[in-house]
Amino acid sequence: MSRLQTTPSATVGPYLAIGLTWEGGEFAVPPETPGAIWLRGTVFDGNGDPVADAMVETWQADPDGRFDHPDDPRGASRYPGFTGFGRAQTVPDGDYAICTLKPGRVPDGQGGLQAPHVDVSLFARGLLDRVVTRIYFADEAAANAEDAVLQGLPEDRRQTLLATPTDDGYRLDLYLQGERETVFFAV
């Protein structure tokens, strides 16, 4: 009698460019939009090496804290061309870049407001599923101090989610493992 063997699990990469990315996906808003910023960084693996074949996907509210979705009870975004959604494949040195608008605060479901943030899904070789994190903004100290998600993390781990200002936006490197591992959330 022949016995069937379990096949190995597939990972979410490295074939992300086949159907998951598209030209212009890195633009959640056209770059000429007033207030447009770039979110940039590098994706690193557990050895500290750049990941050249990852994909960073973002979803966020607009500067007024509204989502570009018909179910948002506060109404549609007033920012022309803003989709709130971006996808960027990393380049050979592991860098990603997404052009967007800095988000506003959104309700936290408890009567308060979350700090401005961008939701991030990261897909890469070796992962059986995406990992999920957030990008917060280091220059939003007052809002960050009120954010239940950030305050629920040990202080030293919060730093892995704080993007620092640059000349044209913000930078946050993402670490899949290791000493500087980014905080990832179970969703």
pLDDT digit string, tens, across residues 152-171:
999 999 999 999 999 999 99
Which residues, listed in sequence order, are joined to residue 134 by a DSSP beta bridge?
119
pLDDT digit string, tens, across residues 34-91:
999 999 999 999 999 999 989 999 999 999 999 877 777 777 788 989 999 999 999 9
For residue 116, which of 83, 162, 169, 69 has the smallest C-alpha distance? Answer: 162
For the chain, percent of residues with pLDDT exceeding 70: 89
For residue 105, which of 119, 117, 93, 120 has the smallest C-alpha distance? Answer: 117
What residues have CB less than 8 Å from 5, skipping those under 6 apart?
none
Q: Is the pLDDT of residue 17 over 90?
A: no
State in Å, rounded, how far the first CA of the chain is from the last one: 42
Q: What is the mean pLDDT of the chain?
A: 89
- Tell me, what DSSP letter sits at residue 33? S
List the single range of 16-25, 71-80, 113-122, 129-138 with lowest mean pLDDT: 16-25
Give me the domains of the chain, ranges plus CATH numbers: 36-175 (2.60.130.10)
Q: Is the pLDDT of residue 174 over 80?
A: yes
Task: Quote the CA–CA distance of 128 and 14 in Å, as a whole number.
Answer: 11
Cβ contact 100:77 at 8 Å: no
Q: Is the pLDDT of residue 9 over 90?
A: no
Task: Quote the CA–CA distance of 116 and 168 in Å, as a whole number.
Answer: 18
